[in-house]
Structures are given as structure tokens and as C-alpha cells.
Structure 1
Amino acid sequence: MLILILAYYITQSVQSEAGPLPALLEQRDDASQNDQNSQRSIQSIIWSCLSTIFLCTWVAVHPNVHFRPEKRDQRWVEKWLWAPLHEFFTYKLLLFVWALLVPEYILSWAVRQYIQAGVISKKVPGWTRTHGFFMVMGGFHLFRLPADAASIPLPLESSEPSEFVIPSARHLRKDEVPECPLKFEDFPVDILEIIVPTETELKDRGKSDALTKVIVLVQTLWFVIQCIARGTQHLPLTELEVVTLAYAMLNFFIYGFWWDKPRNVECPIRLYKASTTSHKESGEAVEEWISNCVGRWLEKIFQYSVGRQDNFVLLSPERSVPMFWSGRLDNDILGDAGLGPTLLGSVFGAIHCVAWSSEFPSHAELVLWRISCVSMVVIPFITTIICIVMAIGSRIEADMPAGVEAIGFTCAFLLLLSAWLYIAGRLATLVIAFSTLRALPPAAFMNVDWTTFIPHIY
């Protein structure tokens, strides 16, 4: 409802050149026009938008644990220069680009982790959703003890020895050999009750707290309020502000679903097995990608779009969990998990339509903006239909009706054909948002007259 109200108010400001805006400009006296406080600069517009986008795409993202084994006898250049730069460009910057180009995919990732964390938390006594998040994000890592290190098996409730051990003698931590990240199925519940810290201790491992999150949300909310205020006073928004408004809308949902997830955890909790004990990954067998290169590429587009990519991942040979790992959700809830994010993805594109009738410096930019808006609304909605078909299929025991199945295959085919168009549309709107700053209408530089919102006596 908030989005609809916002779209209505702002759209009214750009319906025609002879509408309320010229009348409003005529009502402003000369003193008001000469007042420096009633004007804003391009620099202030850019700073406000970029800071909000940064909060929505960098600060709001809660990455998984990207484990980096410590190297012995590491030179200072590699430790303090090469390793941080490599981590930044190969992981953090890549995740930032994903959040910038496909923000609704970050939302769907957050929703899947939220659901999986809730499922896991119910299986262990005393666990909260924070514990479930920590498990899903790769917070537990298997290490091998040195061959000569003494250890004691962790006890199980059945009094049988466990494959997991605890060191019982001194040894160097650097001699421990990292094996692979662990998922929930690799643990007996008894072990988890013994080794896992409390919720407060897990949150302490994160680099963010509730106050930081509130500050980010307040800044984002303030930007949204300014946009609504400009709409009520018939002041136009720049295309850059429209793009930022779309990011701000999704940011509230991303932060909400990740509120209990520790942020920027770099060191997982170590669990040990003796050097002679083999590790066999638990859970269902992974699915195999199509061997054909083109078929594999198309299959990955579809599986990543609906959130099933984790079904193809085997963690035992990996150094850390994949970037978008959220565990293997049951097919019964996978379709439901994708409904909300894909619908909000269409709303994200629809917000860009606020600038549908804005003044663009060139006709080419206007046409390209409109085509991009249509693609950003339609393509996520196609994914929504696919999720609906998946949800229907998980609820009926008999074969899926032929009509529903045909709709699903048609939408999957359209998604494979148009996925590139969505990325192109996102890039186009970002470029045009900055290019249109070279020729803004005069009213775009006017500040909101906040006195009209505050009860007072003239």
C-alpha cells in the first residue's frame, strides 16, 4: 500500500508540463527563490542517492562465512596486501555487484536462509534462529588434528563414541588441517547441544549490532520520506532518486529477514576429527549438471533463478560454503519461498516506472528507460509464475495437470531467453540515471518545504 501511495503522488508530478508544477512555481515569491536553503545542488542529490544505495547493497548484505585457511610462514606483503585485495575483488566486490544488478536475488537468498534457519532451530533443543543462521552460513568447519595429537571422542546420548573428538593434549593450532565446511546433516544433535555457543556469543562474532541496523534503516526511511514529500508538493524526482527509491524498498525486506543473522563472520567454529578418521558427507546425494556446455549454462540460469542451485553442491571438497549457499530446502517449500521475492522483484521494476513520463535529455534515453522498466517488471513476474507452478506441484499427490505443466514449461523457456534482457535493463537504468543529471528541470533543484507538513500559526 505504501508503494502504491508513493507511486501515485510522484506520478502526479510528472503527468504534464502544464499541471500543478508551474502553478506552484508561480506561487513562490522572489525572496523564496533567492533563498539558498530552498535549492539543492547536483552534488547533494548524488551524495544522498549514492550513500543510500551503498547502505542497501554493501552494508545490508550479510555474507556467508568465506573461510580462508591460514598459511604458515606467510610473508607480510601476502598477508597484509595480497590476501585482503584478493578477498575484496574475488568475493566482497563480486557480491556487491550481484546486489547492485540483481537485488531481488539477494532478497530471495535471505528468504531461503530465513526459512532454513527456522527449520534447523526447531530440531535442536534451546536453539534460536540465530543458531540456524550460523549453521546455514557455514559457521562450522571440520579440521583434522595432527597425527600425534591426543584426543577424546565426544560422548553421545547413546553412550557410543562419536567420530567428532576434542583435543586432550597440547598442539599448535596451525598444525590443524582444514577439511571442509559442515552442514546440519553432518552432526548428531547431541554434539550440537555440547559445542554450540549461546545466541549472545554467536551475535558477538558478527561485525554489526542492532544499533547499526537501526541507523541504516532510519537513513533509508528518511530517503523514502523525502521522496514522498516531493511527490505531495509536485516536485519531480530525478531518475537517480527513482533508482535509489527502488533499492530502499527492497532493503527493508532484506534487513528484516537477515535481522538475526551475524554479519561478516570470518572465522568458523572448529570441529575436530582424528587424522585417521574418514569424513563422509551426510544427506541426500547431489544432483548432476547437464554435461553439455550450453545445456549446463541454461540449466544453471533456471536453477539459480528458482533457488535450487544448492542441490548440485557437494561441500566435502569445498574450502567454504558457496556464496549464495542456504542449504537444500525441501521442494515442498521451495516454491513458496520464491513467491514473495519474485513479486517484490516486479515491484522493484515497477517503481522505476515512476519516471515513465519524466523529462529526458534525449528521446533515445526515454525509450531505453521504458523498455528497461518493462523488462524489470515482466521477467521477475515470469519467475513468480514458475514458483507458483512449483508450489502447486508440491501440494498435489497426483500428476500435475497438463495445463499447469505447460504454463510452467512456457515460463521456463521465456526465462531462459530473456534473462540477459533483465541484466541489460538493470545496467541501462543505472547508466541513464547518471546521464540524465546533465539536464535536469529547474524544479528538480528545489527543496521540500517542510513547513507545510508541520502544524504552525502564520
Structure 2
Amino acid sequence: MYVEVHQRTTMNILWSCLATIFACTWVAVHPNIPGPRESEWLRFRRRFATMFYAVIAPEVVTLWAMRQQSSCCKFYSEIIGWFRIPDDESLQWTLSHGFFIQMGGFIFSQDCEPASVITFKQLQHMIDNKIIDLPSLSEEDILDKSKGDLLTKILVVLQMTWFIVQCTGRWATGLPVTELEVVTLAFAFLNIITYSLWWNKPQNVQRAVRITKKSGAPKMEVEPPSQRRTWLERKFAEDDEGSENWLPWMILITLLVPLKVVRDHDITEETGVLFPSLIMSVLFGAIHLIPWVSSSFPSSTERTLWRICACIIAIEPLPVAIGMGLYRLMGQHRIGTVLKMIMEAVGMSLGCLAFIGLPLYVLARFTLLVLAFTTLQSLPPSALQDISWSSFVPHV
């Protein structure tokens, strides 16, 4: 079939969106380092699971990146303060070192025991107690282990930027954007934020650095002492300790924070990361409202279903965000007893409301993904019209 210069096909739209989604969910995701005894199959399953989370709930991955960036900056500032690192370039620790520790970059072995991944706190304990020396690992050594070079990062950013420019150009010229393009645009929006947070994080490192005990040093208990922490508190701590097992529980944890289940946790500190991520989740959902007025659906049923699902994913994070704001306010200001009780009751009610709506949120996400592909079967002619970029260039 003859295709005019300024026409595009359904297959063009499909491949452009799939390439962008793939860049957002597979190429751009920075997984942690596999354990020393993990098989290749387990590594692939872990990577695929992370991609699945990125497709179904990309907000999870963005929050993961925000927490890692926050913890990484904390690690970096603390280790600089502890050791007053000298001018030796091999001992100049950077944000990449902080990410490397957090993603399981150091394993510790002693007295013929199996090697175990160590956390930042364990590394601190071992250096303070003269069990090991500060690892002599330069940033260049870390980047050499990384499989994601600068060119790959630039290509991913260019792919996402070009897609956003195309969507913006279509709106500027009055051309409709398909539902699949709207879904992909939402992915690109969150992924640009995620990618910027992970810019200094090594990517796809397959082997950790082994650290051995100094001769004559006391034996180190790798596992931290048993602490009286709840299951939910342990899940809160897992990401700071470099674990990807934290991902599936993020939504549950986020919803339970306003319920104040984790009573001993620093709620004010946690909301410093969770609250901005929830606002971004609202914006992510709001992008799906674009087809409300700018798209032609094949049927009124599909239009109504899309609108309902888009409203659900845009509104669902709001109760949690408001609850977070209330608890942050209570943590930063002195509030009267009666007002505090009212605010706690409101926060708990909002948390319960969001928790009840969680199944609807998941169902709405699946429904939007399905509709995004099924609506490609009946596109209006204007949706297949390509952008005439020459119209943006001033000319006589």
C-alpha cells in the first residue's frame, strides 16, 4: 500500500511506543547486583520481575529510585565525615560509591565461611572496629564494572525526549494522540525523573567486590543483631540495605504509613521521600486524562471505561498524599491535643480509603493498558496523519 509522506501507519505507532516503553522498563532500570550464589535463571527472573513492576506500577520504581538517591546522599555525607578521606584518588568516595554499596557491591568473607553481602552500616562497623580497611576502589573501577555507558544513557534520554516532542507537536498542530501514545507518554514522564535519580548509579553490574578480614582482626557477625522490629519496619529498611525485595511491598507500605503502623519509624523523614513521589503519581495518573477531550474512541463504552480508570489512578494516590502531609505537619509543628487527634483520625481514614481502593487501582492500570492496544484497531484518519515539521519553521 502506498503511504504518503505525511502519513504514518498503525505499525509505526505501535513500534514507536513499544520502543519507548522498553527503554523505560528494561534499558533504563538499574537493578541491584546479584547475590554471590544466584543462578543465571534467578538473575533473569529478578530482572523480569523488576520490568513487570515498572510496567504495572512505574511509580514503584520511581519511589525506589528516590529512596536510593536519598540514602545514597546520606551514605556519602556520613562516610566523608567519618574518615576525612585524603587526597589519594583511589580513596575519593563519590555518589557512585554510595550507590555501589547500596546495590550490594561489597561481599565479605572470613574464616572460610561463605561470602555474604554487607550493608552500609556493617561496612561502617567493620571499618570503625579495624576489621577491614576502607576499600580502595576508585569511581573509574566502579564505572568499568557498569554495563551502561554514557552513550547508552544518552540514547535512552533521546528516545524519551523525541517521543515527548512528537506528542507535543501533534497537540500543537491539532492532531490527535492515540491512547497508546498517552500511556507511553506517562511512562516517559516518570522515567525521565527515575533516570535522573539513577544517573550516578552503576548499571547491570554482575559481580560484587570481595572484602576480606584483616589478619588478626576479631570475627565479624555479618548478620546484624536481632532487633525488635515489625515485619513492616524490616520492609522499610530493606531498600536502605540494598534489597530489591522491597519493591512488591511498596504500595502496601505507602498506604499503611498514614495508618501509623510503624510507630517507631521516623515518619517525618520517610514522608520527605514518599510525599513527592505521591505527587508525581498523581501527575502520572493525570496524564491519562488527556484523551478525555482530545481522542476519538471506537465506542462510547470504551470512552467511559477509559475515563473511569484514568480517574481512579489519578485520584488513588491523593488520600495517601494528604495523609502524609498531615503527619508531616504534626511532626514539624506543635499542635493541640484535640486537633492532633482529629488529624490522626483523618489520616487513618484516608489510609483506609486508599487501602480499600488498591485493588481498583491495579484493575484500572491493567484496563488502561488493554484499552491502549485495542483502540489501535479503529483509529480515525487524523490519528494516522503525521506531523509536518516544516510548519514549525518560520518561512515566507
Common fold by TM > 0.5: yes
Determine the structure 2 residue equivalent to 1:198: 138
Question: Are residues 1:121 and 2:76 paired?
Answer: yes
Q: What pairs up with 1:359-438 in 2 under 5 angstroms? A: 359-396=296-333, 401-438=340-377
Preserved contact between residue 332 and residue 391 of structure 1 (Cα < 8 Å): yes
Matched residue pairs, number? 361
Q: What pairs up with 1:36-185 in 2 under 5 angstroms? A: 36-69=4-37, 83-89=39-45, 91-125=46-80, 126-146=92-112, 177-185=114-122
Structure 1: give runs of 5+ residues left out of the alignment.
1-33, 71-82, 147-175, 290-299
Q: Which stretch shows the higher mean deviation, 176-185 or 347-356?
A: 176-185
Measured at CA, do residues 322 and 352 of structure 1 come closer, stay the same or move farther in structure 2, by a change above 3 Å? Answer: closer
Q: Identify which of 193, 196, 208 aligns with 2:148.
A: 208
Measured at CA, do residues 212 and 402 of structure 1 come closer, stay the same or move farther in structure 2, by a change above 3 Å? Answer: same
Deviation of 1:313 (Å): 8.9
Deviations 1:284-329 (Å, cap 9, x if unpaired)? Answer: 935223xxxxxxxxxx6xx8xxxx82347997xxxx8343489x99
The separation in 1 between residues aligned to 2:10 and 2:227, in whole angstroms, is: 56
Structure 2 letter corresponding to 1:438: Q
Determine the structure 2 residue equivalent to 1:269: 209
Deviations 1:309-366 (Å, cap 9, x if unpaired)? Answer: 2347997xxxx8343489x995442101112111111111111111113222222221
Preserved contact between residue 63 and residue 323 of structure 1 (Cα < 8 Å): no
Q: Which stretch shows the higher mean deviation, 361-370 or 334-343?
A: 361-370
Q: Identify which of 217, 230, 236 aligns with 1:288.
A: 230
SS of 1:141's equivalent in the other structure is: strand
Determine the structure 1 residue equivalent to 2:390: 451
Q: Which has the larger radius of gyration?
A: 1
What root-mean-square deviation, in Å, do the aligned CA atoms of Structure 1 and Structure 2 show? 2.9
The separation in 2 between residues aligned to 1:261 and 1:390, in whole angstroms, is: 31
Preserved contact between residue 32 and residue 243 of structure 2 (Cα < 8 Å): yes
Q: Identify which of 220, 236, 243 aligns with 1:321.
A: 243
Determine the structure 2 residue equivalent to 1:340: 276
Deviation of 1:282 (Å): 4.3
Normalising by structure 1, report the TM-score: 0.72
The separation in 2 between residues aligned to 1:381 and 1:314, in whole angstroms, is: 26
The separation in 1 between residues aligned to 2:191 and 2:309, in whole angstroms, is: 21
Structure 2 letter corresponding to 1:386: G
Identity of counterpart residues, as a percentage?
A: 33
Deviations 1:34-79 (Å, cap 9, x if unpaired)? Answer: 8711110011000000000111111111111221427xxxxxxxxx
Q: Which stretch shows the higher mean deviation, 36-45 or 355-364?
A: 355-364
Determine the structure 1 residue equivalent to 2:89: none
The separation in 2 between residues aligned to 1:350 and 1:96, in whole angstroms, is: 23
Preserved contact between residue 346 and residue 381 of structure 1 (Cα < 8 Å): yes
